[in-house]
Structure 1
Amino acid sequence: MTEGPRARLIESAIELIREQGVHAAGLSALLERGKASRNSLYQHFPSGKSELVEAATEVAGARMSLVIDQVTATGKPEQWLGGLVGWWRKVLDRSHFTAGCPIVGAALAEHEPAVQAAAGAAFVDWNQRLAHALSEQGMPAERAKSLASFVISALEGAIVQSRALKSTEPLDDVLANLTVLLRAG
């Protein structure tokens, strides 16, 4: 079954934000990549591009939440980190370092408060999921919360650096150094 225009628009927004950020992802490019008309855009997103980008940010955030849940379902925290780093390594390699995290792109959309809020909500959700998983492994709740935030921040920073350097070395550094921290956790 073929995706409808709403789903195609959301996918095109996620892709373009991953590649170019919110402001560089122009309406024409969103419509062209999503194979949709302006009428379709306004039918599904009456407020236009901002509403579409907000929805795309929510969808992208929810997808990464599922990845976090899958990775933390078994094994130990250092294995989870390996799973997350491996997931991002594949994304960066497949895209030849042109696609990063759409949530970071949305977080930088200062003139789009609803989009930025959706990015903030995604980060909060990821931190909470990871903190909960760490707590389930016996880590005190406050320590788990702080460490989860640090892990997400380190991963996101490594993704940005990897794109700029066209290398997964920053992800390797995150894996090496945070593994030690998680084992000690």
Structure 2
Amino acid sequence: MDRSVHEGKEKPMTAGPRTRLIDSAIELVREQGVPGAGLSALLERSNASRNSLYQHFPAGKAELVAEATTVAGAHMSAVFDRVTATGTPDQWLSGLVGWWKKALRTSDFAAGCPVVSAALAESEPRVQAAAAAVFDGWNDRLTTALSGQGIPAERARALASLVVSALEGAIVQARATKSVQALDDLQATLGPLLRAG
């Protein structure tokens, strides 16, 4: 994701209100979940007016958070693509784990994955659907990358789903425990399985 999103820095005022609203929604959802990302907090953090919000997102907060989920997913997809561009599957896992360890430590464990938060937004079907689409995209990317390593398609799909699920679960545990131990455990346990293919 954008470095400013991970480090909690203010968005430059050169960014337009739409971009500021999306970035602010990503930050708030990472920190407080969808219910905690209230309109007042979104407007204050983005330095945008209520008119700007409804100009860019006529359906309001749900539309904004769904779009923010899609954008956050695209940022993370780029990380997946960079990590899987070279090396072996266990090295990819190491890259993803390292990336998340840095992101969690940078936020002092206050900010996790906004896609998980969106997935838990039971009262916001549009937001949940955006999260489902992001997860499907991540699984597809990893499946393709694993298949490119000679792993049969069905096995590649299962491994991709396992990596995404285990990584997201470890991120949640890391936030709760204020420790990266769950991510280290994930690397130590899943790494050899990926080496074996």
| Both structures adopt the same fold (TM-score exceeding 0.5) | yes
Q: Superposition RMSD on alpha carbons, in Å?
A: 0.7
Among 19, 30, 35, which residue is 2:42 paired with?
A: 30
CA deviation string 1:30-66 (max 9, x = no partner): 0000000100100110111011001100000111111
2:27 paired with 1:48: no
CA deviation string 1:115-169 (max 9, x = no partner): 0000000000000100100000000000000000000000000000000000000
How far apart, in 2, do the equivalents of 1:155 and 1:41 lie? Answer: 33
Structure 1 moving runs of 4+ over 4 Å: none
Tell me by how many angstroms 1:24 deviates. 1.0
Runs of at least 5 residues in structure 1 that lack an aligned partner in the other structure:
none
* Number of residue equivalences: 185
What residue number does 1:92 align with?
104
CA deviation string 1:89-128 (max 9, x = no partner): 0100000000000000000000111100000000000001
Among 110, 120, 134, which residue is 1:108 paired with?
A: 120
Among 121, 128, 134, which residue is 2:133 paired with?
A: 121
Letter in 2 for 1:154: A
How far apart, in 2, do the equivalents of 1:25 and 1:59 lie? Answer: 16
Q: TM-score of the superposition, structure 1-length normalised?
A: 0.99
Among 153, 156, 169, which residue is 1:144 paired with?
A: 156
What residue number does 1:132 align with?
144
How far apart, in 1, do the equivalents of 2:103 and 2:195 lie? Answer: 26
What residue number does 2:80 align with?
68
How far apart, in 1, do the equivalents of 2:39 and 2:183 lie? Answer: 33
Runs of at least 5 residues in structure 2 that lack an aligned partner in the other structure:
1-12
What residue number does 2:17 align with?
5
What residue number does 2:5 align with?
none
How far apart, in 2, do the equivalents of 1:6 and 1:125 lie? Answer: 24
Q: TM-score of the superposition, structure 2-length normalised?
A: 0.93
Share of identical aligned residues, percent?
71
How far apart, in 2, do the equivalents of 1:81 and 1:117 lie? Answer: 26
How far apart, in 2, do the equivalents of 1:7 and 1:24 lie? Answer: 20
Letter in 2 for 1:177: T
Q: In the TM superposition, what are the counterparts of 1:152-171 in structure 2 within 5 Å?
A: 152-171=164-183
How far apart, in 1, do the equivalents of 2:133 and 2:123 lie? Answer: 17
